Amino acid sequence: MEIKSIFFDIDHTLYDSSLQVESARRNAIKAMIEAGLDVDEKTALESLNSIVKKFGSNYQSHFDELLKEFDYPYDPHIIAAGIVAYHTTKIAYLVPYPDTVPTLIKLNETGYKLGIITDGIPVKQWEKLIRLGLQHFFHSVFISSDIEKEKPALEMFNLALKEMKLKPKEAMMVGDRIDKDIAGANKVGMITVQILRGKYSKNIPKSKLEEPDYVISTMKDLLDILNKYV
């Protein structure tokens, strides 16, 4: 069956989100030390990582917690230094992988309808697409928290098929996570492609459902796979 539509995850699929977050945290710590936090970089970074783990990544006061951790009083100068460095770095690293844009252009001109299926807060995910400069490539964007069912729940994938008027085998899902992107898309019968990027790429499938139809290491490999379906 001919493939008509290709859906992508965002993080570790269109851009290097681990590099982004690691760099942003490291630069935040450096700036806080420059502003007066007298803790060595490695210790402070480990502490920040456990704070983010404990409070979640959308918590608003990670740096306030960090000061408490080292028995500092509330200090808006040190906190602001961390925030400015964090955001500046985060934005600087919001660039697509080198092969993302050339491949999307190629897929688009070949006639595939492109879409996004992702978890996360809708406004935040759109901010990423806009800052990545990719928002105009995607015909449809499906973000799980809109329907309160995260990947691998099949609702998101079914919604995408329904709204784009696709049979499952006319749709391909490309993502880095076998437990989320691949398992979810397999459930509804899409063609699944795992891209080996980022920290989740070494995970081993725990069930048949987590086994992708294809594994690729760069986005350009998609073009070869798609040629088999023409």
Tokens (6 digits) for 4: 């008509």
Residues, the chain: 230
Binding positions for a copy of itself, 157-186, rule CB under 8 A:
none
Three-class DSSP category at 191: strand
Pick from 42, 76, 148, 230: which binds a copy of itself (CB under 8 A)?
Answer: 76
- By CB under 8 A, name the one of 130, 199, 223, 224 that touches a copy of itself: 130
Out of 52, 84, 188, 215, name the contact with a copy of itself by CB under 8 A: 84
Smallest gap from Cβ 94 to a copy of itself, in A, equals 10
What is the nearest approach in angstroms of a copy of itself to the Cβ of residue 134? 12
Task: Please give the size of the binding site for a copy of itself, defined by CB under 8 A.
Answer: 21
> What is the rounded CA–CA span in Å between residue 177 and residue 34?
37
β-pair partners for 174: 8, 193
d(CA 95, CA 100): 10
* Residue 141 is a binding residue for a copy of itself (CB under 8 A): yes
Of 15-23, 65-73, 129-137, 192-200: span binding a copy of itself (CB under 8 A): 129-137
223 counts as binding a copy of itself under rule CB under 8 A: no
SS3 94: coil
Q: Which tokens in the block code for residue 229?
A: 């379906």
CB atoms within 10 A of CB 26: 17
What residues between 86 and 125 interact with a copy of itself by CB under 8 A?
Answer: 122-125
Residue 196 has, within 13 A of its CA and on its CB side, a CA count of 9
- Does position 65 interact with a copy of itself (CB under 8 A)? The reply is no
Nearer to a copy of itself, 70 or 229 (CB): 70
Rg (CA), the chain: 20
Q: How far is CA 79 from the centre of its chain?
A: 26
In the shown chain, the binding pattern of residues 23 to 52 toward a copy of itself, with x for contact by CB under 8 A and - for none, equals ------------x-----------------
Amino acid (1-letter code) at residue 86: Y
18 touches 201 (CB < 8 A): no
Q: Measured from the CB of residue 198, what is the shortest distance to a copy of itself in angstroms?
A: 23
Of the pair 102, 133, the CB lying nearest a copy of itself is at 133
Q: By CB under 8 A, name the binding residues for a copy of itself.
A: 35, 76-77, 79-81, 83-84, 122-127, 129-131, 135, 141, 143, 146
